[in-house]
Amino acid sequence: MTDRNQQLFERAKAVIPGGVNSPVRAFRAVGGTPRFVQRAQGAYFWDANGQRYIDYIGSWGPMILGHGHPAVLQAVQAALLDGFSYGAPTEREVELAQEIIRLLPSIEMLRLVSSGTEAGMSAIRLARGATGRKKIIKFEGCYHGHADALLVKAGSGLATFGHPTSAGVPPEVVQHTLVLEYNNVEQLEAAFSEHAAELACLIIEPIAGNMNFVRASLPFMRRCRELCTQHGALLVFDEVMTGFRVALGGAQSIYAALIPGFEPDMTVLGKVIGGGMPLAAFGAKRALMEHLAPLGSVYQAGTLSGNPVATACGLATLREIQRPGFYTELGAKTRTLVQGLSDAARAEGIPFCADCEGGMFGFFLFDSLPQNYARVMQTDGARFNRLFHGLLERGVYIAPALYEAGFVSAAHSEQDISDSVAAAREVLRGLRI
């Protein structure tokens, strides 16, 4: 049988760098041929060969309702009939902003943009403009988009200024980016002790989804908040991945329930708020957001910001996830999957640990959950690759990389979860060898 995925990949490589429009899709980390998706529905997608897969990527998080939810489709189709884009304000973008603000108490005003990268970049600019400071803190293993100032990694020493991790990013562009180890309170305190007066913000993924699934510990997050408050730096929560995915109030609601009075100064959102369309946002209290043009001196703009079709998709998604019991059911499904995978690995004597929150999960081929990027990097890549391809052959699609979280949708059925665990059990049995 002709492999149309391979044919399409060869065609793609002739006209698109690496044959893909985002690097992780290339399967470079795991080997093999990427699956070219022809269509998707509910918890599944079908590739160019007509093979069906249970989808645990869900467009990397946005498809919390599953693919092609009827209410979302109806909203998008109605919006399309009115026009694709206007470059002018619409009522729907106001409605979407109001809905997000109602659900996230830390936000009083927000600005819609088209991608998480754009939102993260704009949030950093706003933090610098509002504080009049240059330096920022980020954490190794946290991804905030591919803006130049954020494409950095940690070097040696207690706290090292970033060095570019991409060609085309001059060292002077990242000279004000301080990169620390995730969950390391000692490094955090040392950085503030030395640079507090120069720090505009600290930006963090509260649950880091680009080193698989690693939570910020409560002592660490509490200290982030305390130090930012004490020294006038802004605490920026990057909830592009976790926003409305781990809870209706995002990851910040989880920390607020455990740390009295906790909230971030600014929040970056994406993925779920667009329901699968290119849409993101950043928001904060009114006084901070009013630094943005046209009210203030911090410039930010976008031709397709607040796109009427994207806002229709996002607004319909946000309304659906508010039905009673939605997150209870979603969380139960995710825990069932994670527990099933853990039990299967344990039965085969394979080192394995997993964690989840809401509809987001991650697992590692370790005996205990890692707390930082350095530990994540020690995982057994060869064994993971065998697990990935074994699942793929059995119609279960997880991220084609060690360092990406997985996602369960409301469309996944008990049978989907059961079939996925059964497939994993078969593959894990072979990993003992």
Active site includes 238?
yes
Which is the catalytic residue, given 55, 238, 265, 416? 238
From the CA atom positions of the chain, what is the Rg in Å?
A: 21
Which is the catalytic residue, given 44, 53, 56, 143? 143
Active site includes 271?
yes
Which is the catalytic residue, given 47, 55, 255, 271? 271
| Active site (catalytic) residues | 143, 238, 271
